[in-house]
Structure 1
Amino acid sequence: MAKAGFGKRHVPDEAPRGAADFAHLPTREAAIAAYIDRLPEGAAIGYKVLAEELPDYGQQACRSALDRLTRAGHLRRIRVQIAVEGSGLRWVTRTFFARTARDAAWWTRYIRYIRGVDAPGQPPAPDEVPSAEPEPGVPAARSEAYGVLAGLGSREPRLQLSEGECVALEPLVQEWLARGVGREQVGQVLVAGLPASVHSAGAFLRTRLENKMPPVPQPKKNKFREVEETIVAALEMCAFCDENESTTTLVDGVCVDCRADIDRDEANGATGDIPDTFLARPRQRTDVAAKVAGLRAAAGRPAVPGPRAGG
């Protein structure tokens, strides 16, 4: 896992996982993409860490694979300035992973308006689309608290309430629910131990709700709890170095210098798989390549040759 606040993040609006999610990629890239996809948020997914975790590939091979995933629209590295509860402002670096490949325009919009906050100097975010007006005659949806009150009469005839009484008592029941008492438990408390006759159900329930109000739950002490944060700014970074869009030109998420280094390594054959004789343990031959080939066949796609072995 990366340091707190850093590491992998998912993008919104992702489709459910499917067998052919990465069938459009070469074998190595498909294997690494599938591995990253299953990592939890906050996991470290830099090429050096991946090389330590994936025994078949070295650092240069993992860097080359991440470059191709970035070009294909699955990855973007973003530098985010956040205001942290009790700690002031700080910058963190996060790598956002999209199971569904996104084009450059989508990533640009996402980075500019990540969590609804504009990066400095950018045009304002587009206005929210107004919600559709409800159709005439369709009643507004009622809250869970209102439902608890409205259902009391069917459980106990002495507690039959009018609509106005339900609305008046609704905030009290909402407070019970907010303090961690379940809907069914609230109902049980309200109908238990009733007197022989109830002259005013509304007044009786108000007294019971107020007198038996549960205490506010105390937060559990947990050193690993998520702290509250507010994003102040967001800048796209190169996937492999500390340059960002304010200091250099990025093309598909990678700066010119890093892209030149990767292209040179690939031309020299330095990004292939680790030779078998250098592996700490035997290579698992049967899983990744065969599985991806099967996915391609199932999707009606032609086979794609794997990466060239290093010299």
Structure 2
Amino acid sequence: MAKAGYGKRHAPDQAPPRADDFGGLEPREAAIAGYIDRLPEGAAIGYKVLAEELPDYGQQACRSSLDLLTRKGHLRRVRVQVTLSDGQMRWVTRTYFSRTARDADWWAAHVRFVRGVDAPGQPPAPVPAGTSSAPAAVETAEEPGPGVRAPRSEAYDILAGLGRREPRLQLSEGDCVALEHLVGEWLARGVGREQLTSALTSGLPVSVHSAGPLLRTRLETKMPPSPAPHPEKNHPGEQIVGMVMMCLFCDEDETTTTLDHGVCGECRAEIARDEAAGLTGDVPDTFLARPRAEVDVAARMAELRSATVRPVLPAPRPRR
């Protein structure tokens, strides 16, 4: 476990665990991600600690794997400013882990809006125009390949399903895309799927000539109020007042350097040099702290003994 207040934190709004959560990763990264996922909050998950706990991998291999997990959207390290019960402030370092892969915009929004709290003095989160800052239920870390349709958001699905619920609200794909961000804002403000659908389908006029403009008016004029902020709780008497994203491997943060998917350029260059030198592979058997699980130690020792036993030669006869 890390020091109190530090260590692993679960990112919010993750999908429930599944057997294939990390199926898209390479075997080593999938194994390390699965190990981190099972650790409790507050656990130390730096690459040096992981190398001590995972016998198959050395420090360079663990560091390279953590770098890849940040690229895939599973990890970010942040510096958090908290207030104590006596009014004093302190900074702590936490590493957020998300079983669900997130894109860079989601992580930036999470740092600025910690569970709905606008942390003062932080860099503005890069939110694309026409979209909500609220995280989607499921994000993908990579763009779909040619000919592969990108997964739709829950907001889009709600709009696309209105026509089946109410024939007067048949929408085109363009309508769904244009109204998606408004529905997403309703969801971000705590309105459930069924409640939102009811608000859009009830009390319709007898004849609906254009469903898109009608729904836009309803979504904008009936928008529910923003929920009261609920700061992320730490220890009794502590409350977050600021967060800033920092490099996963060093003390530089986004106010002092440029981060690429949560890693500074210098650290990423070091990892690239290690990979080019072949230092990020699995630990050779002869250097493991303890044997691999699949090795039959007894059989291996018997093999080594048989290879080193020398035949007993007869004593030489004395010369005459």
Normalising TM by the smaller chain, what interval? 0.5 to 0.7
Taking structure 2 as the reference length, what is the TM-score of the superposition?
Answer: 0.58
The equivalent residue for 2:36 is 36
| Matched position secondary structure for 1:90 | strand
8 Å CA contact retained: 1:83, 1:89: yes
Q: Please give the per-residue CA displacement for 1:183-235, whole angstroms capped at 9, x wherever unaligned.
A: xxxxxxxxxxxxxxxxxxxxxxxxxxxxxxxxxxxxxxxxxx93221111100
Partner of 1:234: 243
Aligned position for 2:78: 78
Structure 2 residue aligned with 1:15: 15
Residue 227 (structure 2) aligns with: none
Structure 1: which 5+ residue stretches go unaligned? 136-224, 287-311
8 A Cα contact 2:78 2:93, kept in partner: yes
Look up the SS of the partner of 1:273 in the other structure.
coil
Distance in structure 2 (CA, Å) of the matches to 1:109 and 1:102:
11
8 Å contact 2:8–2:42 — kept in the other structure? yes
Please name the residue that 1:117 is paired with: 118
Distance 1:66 1:93, change over 3 A: same
1:93 maps to which residue?
A: 93
| Separation of aligned partners in 2, 1:43 and 1:123 | 29
CA RMSD of aligned residues (A): 2.4
Distance in 1 (CA, whole Å) between partners of 2:16 and 2:122 is 35
- SS at 2:80's partner residue? strand
Q: Give the drift of 1:114.
A: 1.1
Q: Verify the 8 A CA contact 1:82 1:90 in the aligned structure 2.
A: yes
For residues 100 and 266 of structure 1, what CA distance do their matches in structure 2 show?
Answer: 27
- 8 Å CA contact 1:51, 1:58 repeated in 2: yes
CA distance, structure 2, for counterparts of residue 71 and residue 121 of structure 1: 23
Query: What SS does the corresponding residue of 1:233 show, helix, strand or coil?
Result: strand
Specify the code of the residue in structure 2 equivalent to 1:54: L
Deviations 1:62-113, CA, capped at 9 Å, x for gaps: 0000000001000000000000223610000000000010000111111111
- 2:252 is matched with 243
For residues 35-74 of structure 1, the aligned pairs below 5 Å read 35-74=35-74
Segment drifting more, 263-272 vs 108-117: 108-117
SS of the residue corresponding to residue 3 of structure 1 reads: coil
Which residue number in structure 2 is paired with residue 191 of structure 1? Answer: none
Structure 1 97/130 Cα, relative in aligned 2: closer, same or farther at 3 Å?
A: closer
Per the alignment, residue 282 of structure 1 pairs with: 291
Letter in 1 for 2:284: P
Is the 2:122–2:243 Cα contact (8 Å) retained in structure 1? no
Find the residue that maps to 1:234 and give its secondary structure. strand
Distance of 2:236 and 2:27 partners within structure 1: 39
SS in 1 for 2:3: coil
- Alpha-carbon shift at residue 129 of structure 1 (Å): 3.5
Q: Unmatched 5+ residue regions in structure 2?
A: 126-132, 135-184, 200-233, 296-320
Contact kept in structure 2, 1:117 and 1:231, CA below 8 Å: no
Q: 1-side partners of 2:40 and 2:48: how far apart?
A: 18
One-letter amino acid of the counterpart of residue 283, structure 1? R
1:95/1:130 CA distance change after superposition, 3 Å = closer
Structure 2 letter corresponding to 1:28: R
* Structure-to-structure mapping, 1:47-196, within 5 angstroms: 47-86=47-86, 88-115=88-115, 116-123=117-124, 129=189
Q: Are the aligned partners of 1:75 and 1:96 in contact in 2 as well (CA < 8 Å)?
A: yes
Aligned equivalent of 1:273: 282
Which whole-Å CA distance do the structure 2 matches of 1:257 and 1:123 have between them?
Answer: 24
Q: 1:278 to 1:87 in 2, by over 3 A?
A: farther
- What is the identity percentage for the equivalent residue pairs of Structure 1 and Structure 2? 62
Amino acid of the residue matched to residue 264 of structure 2? C
Kept in 2, the 8 Å contact 1:83–1:230? The answer is yes
> Residues 268, 114 of structure 1: CA spacing in aligned structure 2 closer, same or farther, 3 A cutoff?
same
